[in-house]
Structure 1
Amino acid sequence: MTELIWIAAAYLAGMVASRLSFPPLVGYLAAGYALHGLQIAPLPNLGHVAEIGIELLLFSVGLKLKPSSLIRREVLSVGGLHLLLTAVTSALVFFWLEQKVTGGLVLGVSLAFSSTVLAIKVLEDNGELSTLHGRDVLSILILQDIVAIVLLAVADGKQPQPWALALLALPLLRPLAHRILSASRASELKLLLGVCLALAGGVAAERVGISADIGALLTGVMLATHPKIDELTDRLWSLKELFLVAFFLQIGLADLPNREQVTLALSLLGLLPLQGVLFFGLFLFAGLRARTAFVSSLALMTYSEFALITTGAVVNAGLLTEDWKAIISLAVAGSLAVAAPLNRYSHRLFGWAECWLVRFEKQSGNPDRLPESFGAAEWLVIGMGRTGIAAYRALCEREQRVVGLDADPTVLETLLGNGRRVVYGDAEDSELWSGLPLERVKGVLLTVPAYEVRCAAIEQLRRRGYLGQIGAICYHAEEADHMKTLGADFVIHPLVEAGNQLAKQLLEGGA
């Protein structure tokens, strides 16, 4: 009966949040607090299920991760400076209040961490995890996780074992892992292998005094370059989402705060915009464009689930009072509830403030700079995944002048190495379409997987007055109708088209 109550409450609250244009996770947070307030017994092992969900999330991130793309100058400068400035400020505040400075320092660094779960989930849902700003955000989150491990060691008086460095060798087992995955031909075996590797990485990390999340991430990296990794990723998606519901529910299990604690938690929430402004300024200082800086800052403008863990350790060590557990719990939950809808509409929010924000960006040297022209290209392919590459090749075979655009730097690197004509470009970026000469372009093909991105690109092209052809892919009938209303000339469902081509080939072969 208890299981039914908790699962039903999560579903109903998630559905209400979704109808109010909030992500379902906001409803899960509310359900956790409501069930705890009603004194309904929690699900047994809810915390353990939540930990598995986070490990599966980090493992799935590792499947898409290319380590060489994470070591970027802006990542180290932005992530490092943000942690330093926040920690120093917190220590000074606690010194001024005549509180324990050591506890304030640890708390300040804890509040500088951003929520790994929310940021990755939002980027993944928006199809932006592999974009330039998505990789920067992911790299900063990994940097914060490493610092969190050290912080926990200081707070608990524990240190990672010397064998912890051996975890870095996990990706070297890639050939063996690839063979095992190739031998697992059945889909359910691939799923079981993914879960086993995620949990194995977590167990190995914990045995040497490291967070289980880091171990799961590294085992994901071990499989990242397998040619059939997409099938494993797709199979893990629903399972990971189900386990993550437990994570958001368990946040509400903390003790309900009193009025004074609520006031302090709201004060911490009021500081979140300052954290976002700090991130925005540091990203601009590192040379990123205003759009990239803004979207990245919103993704990082939360308090981390790590803050719950580090605060508990600091309180147990006697460096802070017991009240801080309830305060930080409410602040973390509130930051997730506020940040989730903001991130969902981050590009639209930037569009409203674009005229003002672009004044602060550097005029040259941007690693995310947009192309100034497409040269003599007559066709543009937006999104160089499997469908986009197929369209690109088909146009090249007909001796057409074509250029591909993609927001994933690793995709661009690979395609440029293969001699393809590709440039960096985010289809949602209004600057991309407003600043480029499109008079020679006869047609634009939109093959990006995210439906919202395709719609945004069609709208911006037609608003600018582009008269050429626009073609797009779709996966549902209502998507096709809407995109045609926005200005698409033709819309194709890849699976429907594959069926049509199969029937055509069979009939022609029989004739």
Structure 2
Amino acid sequence: MELIWVGAAYLAGLVTSRLHLPPLVGYLMAGYVLNFSGVESNDTLSHLADIGIELLLFTVGLKLKLSSLLRREVLSVGTLHLLVVTLVSALVYFGFNGQITGGLVIGVSLAFSSTVLAIKVLEDSGELSTLYGRDVLSILILQDIVAIGLLAVANNKQPSPWALCLLLLPLLRPLAYRLLSASRDDELKLLLGIVLALAGGVLAQKVGISSDIGALLMGVMLAGHPDIDDLSKKLWGLKETFLAAFFLQIGLADLPGYDEVIQVFQLLSLLPLQGILFFALFLLVGLRARTAFVSALALMTYSEFALITSSVVVKAELLPPAWEAVIGLAVALSLAIAAPLNRFSHRIFSFLEPGLVRFERKVEHLDRLPSSIGGAEWLVVGMGRTGMSAYLAFKQQDMRVLGLDADPINLKNLLADGRRVIYGDAEDSALWETLPLEKIKGIILTMPEFEARSSSIKQLKNLQFAGSIGTVCFHNDEESELYRLGATFVIHPLIEAGKQLAEHLLKSTSKMDF
């Protein structure tokens, strides 16, 4: 039976990924196909699904940082969005067959956006560290915290007085930090993460609390350790594997009938309203239309947490079992719709830009465009390791160089080191239109994502930039395309590194012979 589950999940996930959709959409579809074929779920699949949820919430806890949640745009947009949706849900479900609690929990959970999809889209495009990427991630974490509270309400269980002892978990942080520091091998770090997540779940169950909350608190306890990002990356793939069991289980639980399918499409029709609400709130706190649009599009989905809460609500008999199938299909289709939209979000905005910029507030924007570049004659866009090396090479020759980067944390560190850098997102067409390009002799583009480099070259050529454009490529097919678009020169970092290694080796050998 396990082979059938895993094989079906893999094949369906492979098909959806080739269609540029998240694999979890395929897992849900595989569950429906297996259900239709007469395959049933059992306790083993349910147990694996529970482990997946615990690992998911543990990794959420690892990312919890109070400072990121206290930013004005995060608190105001995240809180106002949840309040508006809660109010609407309360009105809609007020007379829901007397099952107000279950209806309200489902309604609020539909306000949550997909953490898995948003993070994957931002990581794939290299925008997770940008201003809007950090805001989206922080809002997702804020939603996850509220989701945990909903799970506690939906469980409808009276916790033990000992439950308050879970609040003492932070006192064990020094011990947890020592264990993680002592676990130098990758497999030991991974095992420690699993042990802590499962231990949190067991402790929570012992005191009458959902195991998911215990796993989250364990993650919070470990948050802040220097190796936490490394641990999160190691747990990511394992968590996704176990979550496949959860998505399969949803599909195997029940097939939606005609009435349920109608309800699914009604829920999907509300997605544009959710996107419009996010867009309006981002504009309200002072973001530009472009940043507000791409952020709203990243959040315009239904969340995996809606699947979890619907499952809990149904088990607590607060809603009919059919709602589990309705929410499962609605989440799957919302992700299928959102994935391609997010992939082309910048292009979509370019098409809609004339109409959307009219809604911007006439204030000092948080993501403001640079008003001046001083006397700079050379620009380095993307201040990672490659960009920083180029910047220092210019400085060593006393050239007037300026760095641009979209990562606010990186900018803060560079400014503290005395570097001349400003905020600038290369995919923002308004950036190139604002910069005084006639003063610039040359621009180096070092962004890792090909789309950002190619679109920047297109915009520069459309603006008739007469200077030199240098950039990097990481695949052979990129080089010819970048030259075709108008790049002056293109280098492959790994090829250049090999050439330099050979040159240095030959020089050192010739000196030894001499």
Q: TM-score, normalised by structure 1?
A: 0.88
CA distance in 2, matches of 1:169, 1:451: 46
- 1:93-492 map, 5 Å: 93-95=92-94, 99-158=98-157, 161-167=163-169, 176=178, 179-180=181-182, 184=184, 189-197=185-193, 199-201=195-197, 203-204=199-200, 207-208=203-204, 209=209, 211=213, 214-215=216-217, 217-218=219-220, 221-223=223-225, 225-226=226-227, 242-243=241-242, 245-246=244-245, 248-492=247-491
CA distance in 1, matches of 2:180, 2:480: 42
Shift of 1:153: 1.5
CA contact (8 A) 1:448 1:454 kept: yes
CA distance in 1, matches of 2:168, 2:475: 47
Greater CA radius of gyration, 1 or 2? 2
CA distance in 2, matches of 1:179, 1:129: 26
Change (3 A) 1:172 1:101: same
CA distance in 1, matches of 2:280, 2:9: 38
Change (3 A) 1:465 1:212: farther
Query: What residue identity is the alignment partner of 1:176?
Result: R
Shift of 1:485: 1.8
Shift of 1:287: 1.0
CA distance in 1, matches of 2:247, 2:300: 18
Give the SS at the match of 1:211.
helix
Change (3 A) 1:175 1:242: closer
Query: What residue identity is the alignment partner of 2:93?
Result: F
CA distance in 2, matches of 1:461, 1:330: 44
Query: What residue identity is the alignment partner of 1:203?
Result: A
- The alignment yields a C-alpha RMSD, in angstroms, of 3.0
CA contact (8 A) 2:22 2:335 kept: no
Give the SS at the match of 2:151.
helix
Change (3 A) 1:234 1:206: closer
- Report the more deviating stretch, 121-130 or 307-316: 307-316
CA distance in 2, matches of 1:427, 1:415: 18
Query: What residue identity is the alignment partner of 1:204?
Result: G
What is the CA deviation profile of residues 159-211 of structure 1, one whole-angstrom value per residue up to 9, with x for unaligned ones?
77323434556776686367435xx2xxxx22441352255145326624453
Query: What residue identity is the alignment partner of 2:118?
Result: A
CA distance in 2, matches of 1:292, 1:197: 35
Give the SS at the match of 2:110.
helix
What is the CA deviation profile of residues 90-131 of structure 1, one whole-angstrom value per residue up to 9, with x for unaligned ones?
111223666433333222211111122222222222222211
How many aligned residue pairs are there? 501
Query: What residue identity is the alignment partner of 2:167?
Result: L
Change (3 A) 1:7 1:151: closer
CA contact (8 A) 1:416 1:422 kept: yes
Shift of 1:6: 4.1
CA distance in 2, matches of 1:389, 1:174: 36
CA contact (8 A) 2:50 2:246 kept: yes
Q: TM-score, normalised by structure 2?
A: 0.87
Query: What residue identity is the alignment partner of 1:364?
Result: V
- Report the more deviating stretch, 117-126 or 97-106: 97-106
Shift of 1:409: 1.2
Point out where structure 1 has 5 or more consecutive residues left out of the alignment: none
Shift of 1:345: 1.5
Change (3 A) 1:429 1:202: farther
CA distance in 2, matches of 1:153, 1:309: 12
Query: What residue identity is the alignment partner of 2:408?
Result: P
Identity percentage of aligned residues = 58
Change (3 A) 1:98 1:41: closer
CA distance in 1, matches of 2:491, 2:34: 46
